[in-house]
Structure 1
Amino acid sequence: MSEVLLAAAAGVPMAAGWSLHALRLRRRIETARRDPLTGLWTRDAFAQRAPRVLAGGRSAVYVIDLDRFKEINDTHGHAAGDAVIAATGQRLAAWANTNLGTVVRLGGDEFAAVARVYSLADLSWTLSELTRAIEQPVTVDGCPLAVGASIGAVAYDPATDDVDLSTLLRLADEQMYAAKRSGADWLTALDMTPQSATANGRRAGRPGTANGTEAAA
Structure 2
Amino acid sequence: MRKLVLIVGAGLLLQLLLPHLPERPGLVLACVPIAAAGLYSAVGFRRQARAATGRIRGATMLGGVAGGLLGLAYALYAAEALGLPVGVAPDLFGVCAAVATVPAILLAAPPFPDRLALGTYLIDVTTVAGAIFASAWHFVLSPAAAHLPAGGQTSFVLTMLPEIVAATLALMLMSRTSGPHSLHLLAAGMALFAVASVGSVWTHAENLPWYSGGLGAAYLVGGLTVAVSSRNVIAPADPTGWRAFTSFWSTLSYLPTVLTLGCVALEYRVNGTPSAVLVWVVLGSSALALVRQFLNLLIVRRLRAELDHRAFHDPLTGLPNRAAFQRDATAALARGDAAVLLLDLDGFKQVNDTQGHAAGDAVLVSVAAGLGELLRTGAIAARLGGDEFAVLLPATDPETAAGTATRILGSGIRGTIGVSHAAEPGRALDEMLHEADVALYEAKAAGKGVVRVYGQGLPWGGGSSSVRPAAGSHKTNVLPLPGVE
Taking structure 1 as the reference length, what is the TM-score of the superposition? 0.70
CA contact (8 A) 1:40 1:104 kept: yes
CA contact (8 A) 1:134 1:149 kept: no
Q: 1:10 and 1:36 mapped to 2: Cα distance? A: 36
In structure 2, the partner of 1:55 is 334
In structure 1, the partner of 2:415 is 149
CA contact (8 A) 2:393 2:401 kept: no
The C-alpha deviation readout for 1:38-68, integer Å capped at 9, x for no partner, is 1122222211111122223221001110001
Residue among 427, 437, 450 paired with 1:185: 450
Matched, 1:167 2:431: yes
CA contact (8 A) 1:117 1:123 kept: no
The C-alpha deviation readout for 1:67-121, integer Å capped at 9, x for no partner, is 011221222222111110111122223444x241222222211111212243333
Query: Gapped runs of 5+ residues in structure 1?
Result: 1-6, 136-147, 196-215
Give, as a single letter, the amino acid of the residue that structure 1 aligns with 2:344.
D
Q: How many residues align?
A: 175
Displacement, 1:191?
Answer: 5.9
Task: State the identity as a percent.
Answer: 31
Matched, 1:91 2:370: yes
| TM-align CA RMSD | 2.7
In structure 1, the partner of 2:170 is none
Q: 2:380 and 2:341 mapped to 1: Cα distance? A: 10
Aligned partner of residue 85 in structure 1, secondary structure: helix
CA contact (8 A) 1:66 1:109 kept: yes
Q: 1:29 and 1:134 mapped to 2: Cα distance? A: 33
CA contact (8 A) 2:341 2:405 kept: no
Matched, 1:118 2:384: no
Give, as a single letter, the amino acid of the residue that structure 2 aligns with 1:113.
V
Q: 1:56 to 1:45 in 2, by over 3 A?
A: same
Displacement, 1:175?
Answer: 0.7
CA contact (8 A) 1:59 1:156 kept: yes
Q: 1:49 and 1:168 mapped to 2: Cα distance? A: 14
Q: 1:13 to 1:190 in 2, by over 3 A?
A: same
CA contact (8 A) 2:352 2:360 kept: yes
CA contact (8 A) 2:314 2:383 kept: yes
Aligned partner of residue 316 in structure 2, secondary structure: coil
CA contact (8 A) 1:59 1:116 kept: yes
CA contact (8 A) 1:92 1:134 kept: no
Q: 1:60 and 1:118 mapped to 2: Cα distance? A: 6
Q: 2:367 and 2:445 mapped to 1: Cα distance? A: 21
In structure 2, the partner of 1:25 is 304
Q: 1:134 and 1:24 mapped to 2: Cα distance? A: 38
Structure in which a larger fraction of residues adopt helix: 2
Residue among 340, 344, 352 paired with 1:73: 352
Q: 1:164 to 1:134 in 2, by over 3 A?
A: farther
Q: 1:133 and 1:117 mapped to 2: Cα distance? A: 23
Displacement, 1:33?
Answer: 1.9
In structure 1, the partner of 2:295 is 16
Taking structure 2 as the reference length, what is the TM-score of the superposition? 0.33
Q: 2:307 and 2:412 mapped to 1: Cα distance? A: 30
Give, as a single letter, the amino acid of the residue that structure 2 aligns with 1:188.
V
* Structure 1 residue ranges, 4+ long, deviating more than 6 angstroms after superposition: 7-10
Displacement, 1:19?
Answer: 1.6
Aligned partner of residue 411 in structure 2, secondary structure: helix
Q: 1:75 and 1:30 mapped to 2: Cα distance? A: 33
Aligned partner of residue 151 in structure 1, secondary structure: strand
Aligned partner of residue 158 in structure 1, secondary structure: coil
Q: 1:120 and 1:11 mapped to 2: Cα distance? A: 59
Q: 2:342 and 2:412 mapped to 1: Cα distance? A: 13
Q: 2:361 and 2:396 mapped to 1: Cα distance? A: 34
Q: 1:180 to 1:117 in 2, by over 3 A?
A: farther
Query: Gapped runs of 5+ residues in structure 2?
Result: 1-285, 464-483
Q: 1:9 and 1:158 mapped to 2: Cα distance? A: 58
CA contact (8 A) 1:99 1:116 kept: no
Q: 2:370 and 2:333 mapped to 1: Cα distance? A: 21
Q: 2:332 and 2:287 mapped to 1: Cα distance? A: 45
CA contact (8 A) 2:341 2:420 kept: yes
CA contact (8 A) 1:99 1:115 kept: no
Q: 2:433 and 2:412 mapped to 1: Cα distance? A: 20
Displacement, 1:18?
Answer: 0.6
CA contact (8 A) 2:417 2:452 kept: yes
Displacement, 1:168?
Answer: 0.3
Give, as a single letter, the amino acid of the residue that structure 2 aligns with 1:124.
A
Displacement, 1:132?
Answer: 2.3
